[in-house]
Structure formats: C-alpha cells, structure tokens
Amino acid sequence: MARSPPPAKGWRYERVTMQRLHEEGRIWYPDTTDRRPRLKRYLDEQQGRAAGDVITDVNPIGARANERTGYPTQKPIALIERLIAASTNPGDVVLDPFCGCATACIAGQKLERRWIGIDVEPKAVELCRQRLRDELGLFDETRELVEPPQRTDERQLELIPGRRQLRLELWRQLQEQQQTDDPACPECDRAPGIDYMEIDHIIPRSLGGPHSRDNVQLLCGPCNRSKGGRTMRQWRRAKAQAVRSL
C-alpha cells in the first residue's frame, strides 16, 4: 500500500483531532497528492468581520427627511440605534444628558432599553415631548416639576460642599486631631499651611472610590502627587519597597 509522505511543515492538527474531523466530514481531500487537505468552513458558523469604527452606510438627515426636526445637532435614528445596539443589551439604561430632540431616547425605546434624557434648553424639552408622543405614543400626560425630585430610596446621599469649603472642614478636623492651629500632613509630618494642603480621595475616583466625606483627606502637595492614582495601602507599600531597595 503506497502512502503519501506527510507535508513538509507537518500536520496542522493532532491525529486524534484529524480523525474526529474526518469522521464528521469536515475535511476536504484534494484529487492530487501535491495539495493538502483543508478544513471545511461554513458561512453560518463564522462570526463575520468585526464592525469598523467608520460608519458610511447611514446617510445624514436631508432637508426633506421625515425625521428632520430642525434641531441643529440632530443625528439619524439609524446611527444612534447602531451605537446603542453595539454597546448595550436589552434592559440596560441609556443615559443622554444632552438629549436635544430625543433621538437617543427614541432609539433606546425601540431597542427595548430603559433610557434617561436630560437637557436644559426649553426648545429641546418641547421637541422631546412632541417626538416621544408622536413617534412612540408616550407621555400623553406629563408633569412639570420646578423643585428637584425627592429620593424615595433608603440611601440618602450626603451633600459634599465645594472644594474650598471642604478643604477648610478637613483642615479643622486635622486641627482637632493634632491639637494644634498649624497641623501637619498626616503622611510626612510637614506643616506647609492650609494653602499648600490638597484634597485627596483615599480610594481614587479612577478605582471606583466615591466622592464622599469618608473617602477624602488632606495631604500636602508633594504627598498628594506622589500618591497619584493609588490607594493609601498601595502607596505606602510602594514607599516601603523603595526604602528597602536603598
């Protein structure tokens, strides 16, 4: 029995895998021995090409387009639908803090997403109400609130003052803790004065730390910049390692 030599670069799969694919009918065998068998691939099994970041098949809103509202920053619904579909799942929340003429709200509703639309322009409010009513049949009856809504959940957020007031409050806390009018930086014991103390988030905002009273402290400028985007534990560990390496 004559056998063909193996390919010069070897087989692509192990023998067990080749046998399984052969039994499944997934291998195409050529008519001549100078060509290699190939794996059969079917279109419905492929994931397709990854979506590109340049969209050219959605036309801009023309002067006579049915969806045109005249709002200067209006985007095509088809474009927003594609972005929402690519980045969210049904039931997710879509937030548009500058909703303009409610395009993102309408697209989110059509794709079974929950949505929140916000805008301060009176014209935007009017357009949103009109489009949501005419195109989706939503909000036939609306209420206009002047005062901010009251929270109905159990967790009440603590109001944080502005940076200047917050720094003063933290400074007074240091004065009480250290029993002195000129407290020092808690990390380096330097006392540069309040003008050179900076507000630091103990757990950085970039790591999910909240902007709350129990997550802020005062550090001197050099210590705050040295800490950077690390937690206090990470920063202190890095300083200890630097000392040991000396």
CATH number for the domain spanning 232: value is 1.10.30
Confidence check: pLDDT of 53 > 50:
yes
In this structure, the number of other CB atoms found within 10 A of the CB of residue 25 comes to: 8
Say whether pLDDT at 8 is over 80. Answer: no
CA torsion 178-183-189-192 (nearest 10°) is: 180
Judge whether 204 and 231 are in contact, CB under 8 Å: yes
Asked if 115 contacts 90 with a C-beta cutoff of 8 angstroms, the reply is no
The mean predicted confidence, pLDDT, of the chain is 85
Q: Is the dihedral of CA 14, 20, 24, 28 positive or negative?
A: positive
The residue type of 191 is: A
Structural domains of the chain, count:
3
Segment of 19-28, 87-96, 208-217, 232-241 carrying the highest mean pLDDT:
87-96
Is 68 within the bounds of a domain?
no
What pLDDT score was predicted for residue 199?
92
Note whether 130 and 170 are same-domain residues.
Answer: no
8 A C-beta contact, residue 218 and residue 186: yes
Read off the pLDDT band of 81 (50, 70, 90): very high
Residue with the two structure tokens 């399984």: 20
The dihedrals phi and psi of 63, each to the nearest 5 degrees, come to: -65, -25
- Pair 51, 86: CB distance under 8 Å: yes
pLDDT at 153 over 70: no
Residue 150 lies in a domain: no
Residue 231 pLDDT exceeds 80: yes
Asked, for residue 66, whether it belongs to a domain, the answer is no
Residue 124: which domain range? Answer: 77-136
Instruction: Give the confidence band of 205 by pLDDT, cuts at 50, 70, 90.
Output: confident
CATH number for the domain that contains residue 125: 3.40.50.150
What number is the average pLDDT over the span 213-226?
A: 90
Task: Record the pTM.
Answer: 0.47
In a domain, 122, yes or no: yes
Last residue of a domain, one of 96, 120, 136: 136
Residue 204: inside a domain: yes
Q: Label residue 179 exposed, middle or buried (CB < 10 Å: 0-12, 13-18, 19+).
A: exposed
- Say yes or no: 187 and 228 in one domain: yes
124 with 189, same domain?
Answer: no
Q: pLDDT tens across 127-151, in order? A: 888 898 888 888 777 777 777 777 7
Q: Answer yes or no: is 97 within a domain.
A: yes
In a domain, 157, yes or no: no
Claim to verify: residue 127 and residue 173 sit in the same structural domain: no
User: What number is the average pLDDT over the span 28-52?
Assistant: 82
Q: pLDDT of 156-204, one tens digit each?
A: 556 677 888 888 999 999 999 989 999 999 899 888 888 899 999 999 9
State residue 1's pLDDT score: 45
- What is the residue-wise DSSP string for the chain? ---PPPPTT--SS-HHHHHHHHHTT-EE--SSTTS--EE---GGG---PPPPS---SSPPPPTT-TT----TT---HHHHHHHHHHH--TT-EEEETT-TTTHHHHHHHHTT-EEEE----HHHHHHHHHHHHHHH---SS----SSPPPP-SS-PPPPP--HHHHHHHHHHHHHHHHTSSSPPPTTT-----GGGEEEEESS-GGGT--SSGGGEEEEEHHHHHHHTTS-HHHHHHHHHHHHHT-
Confidence label for 7 from pLDDT (cuts 50, 70 and 90): low
